[in-house]
Amino acid sequence: MEHHRHDVVVVGAGIAGLYAAMKAGESADVAVLSKIYPTRSHSGAAQGGCAAALGNETEDNWEWHFYDTVRGSDYLGDQDAQELLVKEAIPVMYEMEHLGVPFSRTPDGKIAQRKFGGHFGQFGKAPVQRSCYAADRTGHAQLHCLYEQSLKCGVRFYNEFLVVSLMIEDGVCHGVIALEIRTGMLHAFWARAVMLATGGYARAWKVTSNAHANTGDGLSLVLGHGIPLEDMEFVQFHPTGLYPIGILVSEAARGEGGYIFNKDGERFMKKYAEAKMELAPRDVVSRAETTEINEGRGIDGADYIHLDLTHLGADKILERLPQVHELVFKFAGVDCIKEPIPIRPTAHYSMGGIPTDLDTRVLLDGRETPVEGLYASGECACVSNHGANRLGTNSTLEAAVFGRRGGMAMAEFVKEKGPVVVGTAIPTQHVEDEVAHYRAHEGKERASVVRGELQDAMQNLCGVFRDEEKLSKLVAKIADLQERFEHVGLQDKSKVFNTELNELVELKHMLDFCEVIAKSALARQECRGAHWRTDFSGRDDEKWHKHTLAFKEKDGSLRFEYKPVVITKYPPEARKY
């Protein structure tokens, strides 16, 4: 095993990881490890924009953004984190402009802003233009800019390194172990501070907007060290996944004025969110769509409905939504200037994740005790900004704001502690053995079959609507698949670019965190945000206004604890749009 040493190691090169690397890189020696080239990270797929109450187009202020985020989260977000998010959004957006992000502009040259679901002015009144955008390629523009800035800072990139293990001992993190995909060799990276920024996990569903790389690796990496996962039952289904494969049609399409219709040509959102219509938050719209489809009002009775942009006109579509136009044409053969787009909900975003404090330090007990030297930010983390439901454009924002905070916190920590010592007594042999074991995997099962069955099960049993029967079935199914995983054989025996091995490791992660999702969802007996139990009616603040913490015990079983939600300003109220 080759050994390396850096002050800071960041795992993941999306917006969160790169912002952290760039910030820490101003004073520390930083390495970024990513299983794909940085610019391939899924942050680049973000289209619609990044929220900040700049007030460039319509009057706005952070307090309204705060209120919307709290309500959007169905009061499960921690309000200290949410307040930080919306306040720091403003300087961070300006900083990104200074760094070079090519934002679209208003006629007077400021950063352009558009409407997005769930964002309103005057404490929930009329839609406000809060999403800062670069056409509908905002994430792409941000990701590339941050990558380039990290290069400028001298950040060292280890591209196509798959992190397979964390070196944690006695509550202190000393680094990570990674598989160099190109050679099949293992490397130990010793660091004073490690940040996990491994992104989301919606690949566990069959219909998803997520990239193949979004397999939630960071989650199961910490779970094995006794660190809990928080609020994993809250998974966002985005209302406008392109039918049938689920790639995303940006919410910008509705922000710019798109309508959704059922087979009778009815703008059915008026039945579900009379005031806010298509711009209600995602959980509300996805449930409405699913109800329409379940009740036979999908287009031609099939399981999709229509998103119609035709009334926006060619000019607006081509200027503001060029990528949407290109995507639906390439992948569905639909010219959205002339015809409606077939859509349905698609698994999109993970609200839950690795519990952290406001400086992104990972919490060993999920409450207040940090693991020394371990940080997490972006979609894999849970501080919790989004609670039970995230608002569109708040997640690239979270990745930027908290990636940045984490970068600064790590730099500070390194200054305090000095450089790390290589090769303290942490054994690494077991990782070599584990990888060797994977390589030698023999058996008649195929990873793709196990994965496919897992994705089907998550799709059918843990979707927009859930109940005890479905979730119990799911728990049993996952146990069965975990058992079958042991009999998966590898056909590829090569060490060089063995992507079958990568997929096997990723499948193991997926099985691990899906078990947590299923059991967390089964335990939570209420409807809140994106977690909707048809066998319970409504939100139950008395019993369930609390965060889930799932711990993996030494014997492999899961133990649940719950912790209170941080309320600083807004106690729970009924949520209506």
Name the site residues for ligand FAD (rule: CB under 6 A): 11-17, 33-36, 41-43, 45-50, 138-139, 162-163, 197-200, 209-210, 213-214, 217, 248, 348-349, 378-379, 392-397, 399
Which of these, 185, 174, 322, lies nearest to 249 by C-alpha position? 322
Please say which residue, 217 or 233, places its beta carbon nearer to ligand FAD. 217
CB of 43 or CB of 389, closer to ligand FAD: 43
Find the radius of gyration of the CA atoms of the chain.
22
Cα–Cα distance for residue pair 327/261, rounded to 1 Å: 20
SS3 content of the chain, % helix, strand, coil (to 5): 40, 25, 40
CB 8 within 8 A of CB 155: no
CB of 15 or CB of 521, closer to other proteins: 15
Task: Based on the shown chain and the rule CB under 8 A, indicate whether residue 89 belongs to the binding site for other proteins.
Answer: no
Q: How far is the CB of 548 from ligand FAD (least distance, A)?
A: 20
- Write down the least CB distance from residue 551 to other proteins, Å: 31
Q: Does 494 bind other proteins (CB under 8 A)?
A: yes
282 classed as catalytic: yes
Query: Is 318 an interacting residue with respect to other proteins (CB under 8 A)?
Result: no
From 88-96, 259-267, 303-311, 405-413, span contacting other proteins (CB under 8 A): 88-96
Beta partners for residue 343, in sequence order: 242, 305
For the segment 329-358, give every residue that binds other proteins (CB under 8 A): 330-333
15's contact among other proteins, ligand FAD, none, with CB below 5 to 8 A by partner kind, is ligand FAD
Interaction pattern, residues 184-223, with other proteins; x per rule: CB under 8 A: ---------------------------xxx----------
* Least distance from other proteins to the Cβ atom of residue 248, Å: 8
Phi, psi (5° rounding) for residue 354?
Answer: -80, 120
Phi, then psi, of 289 in degrees rounded to 5: -60, -45
Does the protein bind other proteins through residue 490 (CB under 8 A)? yes
SS3 429: helix
What is the DSSP track for 104-115? -B-TTSSBPEEE
Instruction: Using alpha carbons, list the distances in angstroms from residue 555 to 218, 224, 559.
Output: 21, 11, 11
4 binds, among other proteins, ligand FAD, none (CB under 5 to 8 A by kind): none
Please check whether residue 174 is in contact with residue 432, taking contact to mean a CB–CB distance below 8 angstroms: no
How far is Cα 189 from Cα 202, in angstroms, rounded to an integer?
Answer: 28
Q: Name which of residues 512 to 571 contact other proteins (CB under 8 A).
A: none
Do β-strands 161-169 and 156-159 pair in parallel, antiparallel, or remain unpaired? unpaired
Phi/psi for 570 (5° steps) reads: -115, 105
Shortest distance, CB of residue 152 to other proteins, whole angstroms? Answer: 5
- Shortest distance (Å) from residue 230 CB to ligand FAD: 16
List the single partner that 197 binds among ligand FAD, other proteins, none, CB under 5 to 8 Å by kind: ligand FAD
Strands 30-34 and 2-11, by their bridges, are parallel
281 upstream amide cis, omega within 30 of 0: no
Residue 378's binding partner among other proteins, ligand FAD, none (Cβ under 5 to 8 angstroms by kind) is: ligand FAD
Using CB under 8 A as the binding criterion, the count of chain residues that bind other proteins stands at 65
* CA–CA gap between residue 131 and residue 378 (Å, rounded): 18
Contact assessment for residue 439 and residue 496, using Cβ atoms and an 8 Å cutoff: no
Catalytic residues: 282
Give the footprint of other proteins on this chain (CB under 8 A).
36-37, 39-42, 44-45, 54, 91, 93-94, 97-100, 102-111, 134, 137, 140-141, 144-145, 148-149, 151-152, 159, 182, 211-213, 247-248, 323, 326-327, 330-333, 446-448, 452, 490-500
